[in-house]
Chain A
């Protein structure tokens, strides 16, 4: 029973990790950019949900669409300006430095606006839990898991079955051929980046009801996203889900059967092993061979 409970906890945590990472994964897969501003988008989503909750009483789950839309716009403009300048004038590696710098600046701005204090969003259901036999799980985590799966499925459908999704995949594989087919590659990059930011914001709104956050928590989420991508593979919702669930399970199983303080060590051990033996993750790069 304890084992089962551990698995359930790992799955719930994994769903959250998966959603938190999928935007990062998409941007990495399509643009080849390791976006170190990802955690900022996520925390911004949490603060957005907090504002809507505190001032308008909108439930964090319902605030996902407005938060995602705003962040889409932010991501779009960010790619068209700062990221584009960095990549076109220097290199993809320059984007690493630039996104890191922007993350530091925005983290400090968030601290100025919201203060460094830890914040939480507590709708009425945030203290409830669900029990099946002896298995117990918080309602917010269950909701978060459900919402993560819904968003990941929607994203899968978008990538598979819409022209926009096909265009993103085509551009990721062959930017030149994509432009020869009439796709505006620069604009698609910006839209993909916007989509990545929107997904980060959506996960931020969900994470806001699950655990406390502050501007300083952003770096941890960027790191988590990176690990999820290394575990699961680049560019696909399925890879993010696999990587997220693996990370969740590694966390809870290590905490339960070795020691809670060993979870980070276990995580990095698996990370190093993956980089040595399967550097493209379990599912590889879904976006193709071009990078």
Chain B
């Protein structure tokens, strides 16, 4: 408990304490504690199956933790269902994008923009996301299923932004994209952060990620094994060896 009171300090947005999750009795995440401060980019890195996605799904309410707590701006949101968490101001852009393929680009955005917290400013939100992704504006009347992978990723992020979140969680945004798009996505993440958005980033593209992260956590087999600033980790030989494939 004393730990938690430490975490509830000014500027800390998201804090988790002792989060654990099992899939059919197999431990996926064990006692994970991370903090995200306002205005930061915080990264979760680690190998496939390390428990990164499971952790952010628990934060966003898509999974119910077995044990542990999730605090958001000091409020306990543990176990709150996903549709209520997003209303609180946390938007998760899920792994593999999950756009509504049979809805048009515009309809995808409309759905997300209809939240009580974002409804009144829907027009501004459109302007914002179309300015950020002019390509989506060109394709607004097309079915989302007809977009390229990169465009679908843009749409997924734009859809998250339509909810006017305080924190944007991006789960593997660069997965399966061409190098050109990967660069664009990271540029966009940095830009959003400069506009004031707090970002929790789950990535396998460790090099790009650490370059922009204020803070990073390394997950291994469901546990946090290391945390430090992005810069410090990028300089760390052990991290380099394990995740960047450099000797």
Tell me the A residues contacting B by CB distance below 8 Å. Answer: 163, 166-167, 169-170, 173-174, 176-185, 286-289
Contacts and interface: CB of A to CB of B under 8 A. Distances in A.
B101 A289 contact: yes
B103 A169 contact: yes
A194 to B, nearest CB: 19
Contacts of B128: none
B101 A180 contact: no
The 4 closest A-B pairs by CB, nearest first: A177-B98, A179-B82, A181-B112, A182-B115
Contacts of A166: 103, 107, 110-111
Given A166-B110, A166-B111, A182 B103 contact: no
Given A178-B111, A179-B62, A180-B91, A169 B102 contact: yes
B114 A182 contact: yes
Contacts of A286: 102
B163 interface: yes
Given A163-B110, A166-B111, A180 B103 contact: no
Contact of B102 (A163, A179, A287): A287
B102 A173 contact: yes
A183 B159 CA distance: 13
A173 B103 contact: yes
25 contacts: A166-B103, A166-B107, A167-B111, A170-B108, A170-B111, A173-B103, A176-B82, A176-B94, A177-B94, A177-B99, A177-B100, A177-B159, A178-B100, A179-B61, A179-B62, A179-B82, A179-B83, A180-B82, A180-B86, A180-B91, A180-B92, A182-B87, A182-B114, A182-B163, A183-B111
Given A185-B83, A286-B102, A287-B102, A180 B111 contact: no
Nearest to A169: B103
Contacts of A183: 83, 111
Contacts of B159: 177, 181
Contacts of B107: 166, 169-170
A163 B110 CA distance: 8
Given A166-B110, A176-B62, A288 B87 contact: no
Given A166-B103, A169-B100, A181 B111 contact: yes
Given A163-B114, A185-B83, A180 B102 contact: no
A178 B163 CA distance: 12
A215 B42 CA distance: 63
B60 interface: yes
Nearest to B110: A166
B49 interface: no
